[in-house]
Structure 1
Amino acid sequence: MKKIRKLMLASIFCGAFLLGGQTYAATTHTVKHGETFWNIAKRYGVPLKQLQKQNGKYTDVLFPGEKLVIPKTTISASEKDLLARLVHAEAKGEPYAGKVAVATVVLNRVDHPDFPDTIREVIYERSGGHYAFTPVQNGTINEPADREAYRAVEEAIAFRGLGNGSLYFYNPKTAKSNWLRSKQVTIIIGNHVFAK
């Protein structure tokens, strides 16, 4: 029985390997004059660090004509849309950098062991009967995002893993939580204080 199971698994893996090369070819990018890792990462919606690691690069040096393998993104279009709607609702009227920082907080939570593992789970997380983000509580998360919110999400994805580790943000004029105010401040942008 074990031999049959091993043989079946070997057949499945072999078939997946042979078919995988034809069906799931890696995306490559040919570097053009003036391009940087940063703008290539933003263009493809992948983290800068992941792009560098995928290509065995430990410096920012790129050469025109060089081919880069673009890592497969793990963030779906629907998750990007949800994140953009959160950014739009949370940071409407805030500077662009603040919008990027709001998206970065969500991505930092996804990467942190104390929070859920997906964008959707982080955004809809509940604690003590309340949602973690006001727009989920009041329904403004359902409003469509503007272009700037989508741009901020793409930039936050490219920036992923490079920031100062912000896990929270709040408006000091409206926040009532002493616990939140006790967190280490990482940066202040517009009307939002970011902390970890």
Structure 2
Amino acid sequence: MSKLVPRTMVMTAALIITALMIGSVAASANEASQNTNTQSSVKTGSVEVSYTVQEGDNLSLIAYKHQVAVRELMRANNLSDSLIRPGDVLQIPEGLSYEGRLSRGVVPREELMLLARLIHAEARGESFEGQVAVGAVILNRISSPYFPKTIPEVIMQKNNRVYQFSPVGDGSINLEPDEKAFKAAEQALSGKDPTGGALFFYNPDISRDSWILTLPVVTKIGNHVFATCT
């Protein structure tokens, strides 16, 4: 009996080790399979990530997920149309900075909605050009060293507990924007700026801010005066 026990223990240990090795190999294979969706690849030019197309994917969804423009995604993969199939491996262009994404109109849906809400609240009685101009002021502030660097931060900015834009303070920014406001937001995001670089706007008939009246006027569109810094 004393001679059989050690031999049995050795055989048992060998079986356990073999099972562990098989399990480790299987786990590694499973992990490798799961990581085929998005993985690092050798950087060539501006390409640094590859993505395996999944069932239900389309170019717009993939571009949004990786914060790149659809046209950049197509260019990186030499695609002449938007047709892709599950299993296709796409090269994802290097991500852009926030301002770079803005310049190409690549922003999250909620930021487009927020911009449209502000435009609607501030300028729903104005012409289409006047609405685009209000959107342009928001984007001009992002490019200025004197203001925050994202659409939400610019719109929600406070000075001495007072919001920069009155609709945020009085709640009218929560009004549902119409199609005109959405189109104006899209035009502003595409780079259209009827103001020529203005950082401020106000209605001279109702403004109570004496300081803003001292700013250099750039242009007047509808009921709004557009101004810049001194």
CA contact (8 A) 1:84 1:145 kept: yes
Match of 1:86 in 2: 118
In structure 1, C-alpha distance between the alignment counterparts of 2:195 and 2:107, rounded to whole Å = 19
Question: Displacement, 1:73?
Answer: 4.0
Match of 1:75 in 2: 107
> Which residue of 1, 16, 26 corresponds with 2:73?
26
Question: Displacement, 1:74?
Answer: 3.8
Question: Displacement, 1:110?
Answer: 1.0
SS at match of 1:165: coil
- Give yes or no for the alignment of 1:194 onto 2:222: no
CA contact (8 A) 2:202 2:226 kept: yes
CA contact (8 A) 1:107 1:160 kept: no
CA contact (8 A) 1:87 1:149 kept: yes
Bigger Cα Rg: 2
- Give yes or no for the alignment of 1:17 onto 2:48: yes
In structure 2, C-alpha distance between the alignment counterparts of 1:80 and 1:118, rounded to whole Å = 12
Instruction: Report 1 or 2 for greater relative contact order, CA contacts < 8 Å, sequence distance ≥ 6.
Output: 1
> Which residue of 185, 194, 197 corresponds with 1:153?
185
SS at match of 1:181: helix
CA contact (8 A) 1:83 1:153 kept: yes
Match of 2:142 in 1: 110
TM-score, scaled to structure 2: 0.57
Match of 1:67 in 2: none
CA contact (8 A) 2:116 2:185 kept: yes
In structure 2, C-alpha distance between the alignment counterparts of 1:14 and 1:27, rounded to whole Å = 19
Question: Displacement, 1:164?
Answer: 1.4
- Give yes or no for the alignment of 1:173 onto 2:194: no
Query: How many equivalent pairs are there?
Result: 148
CA contact (8 A) 2:133 2:193 kept: no
TM-score, scaled to structure 1: 0.66
SS at match of 2:48: helix
Give RMSD over aligned pairs: 3.0
> Which residue of 132, 139, 156 corresponds with 1:100?
132
In structure 2, C-alpha distance between the alignment counterparts of 1:162 and 1:101, rounded to whole Å = 5
Q: Structure 1 residues 27 and 178 mapped into 2: Cα distance closer, same or farther (>3 Å)? A: farther
Q: Structure 1 residues 17 and 90 mapped into 2: Cα distance closer, same or farther (>3 Å)? A: same
Question: Displacement, 1:102?
Answer: 0.3
CA contact (8 A) 2:41 2:50 kept: no
Percent identical = 37
The one-letter code matched in structure 1 to 2:183 is R
Match of 2:159 in 1: 127
Q: Give ranges in structure 1 of 5+ residues lacking alignment.
A: 1-10, 31-49, 51-70
Deviation digits for residues 68-91 of structure 1 (CA, Å, limit 9, x no counterpart): xxx864421110100000000000
Question: Displacement, 1:177?
Answer: 1.5
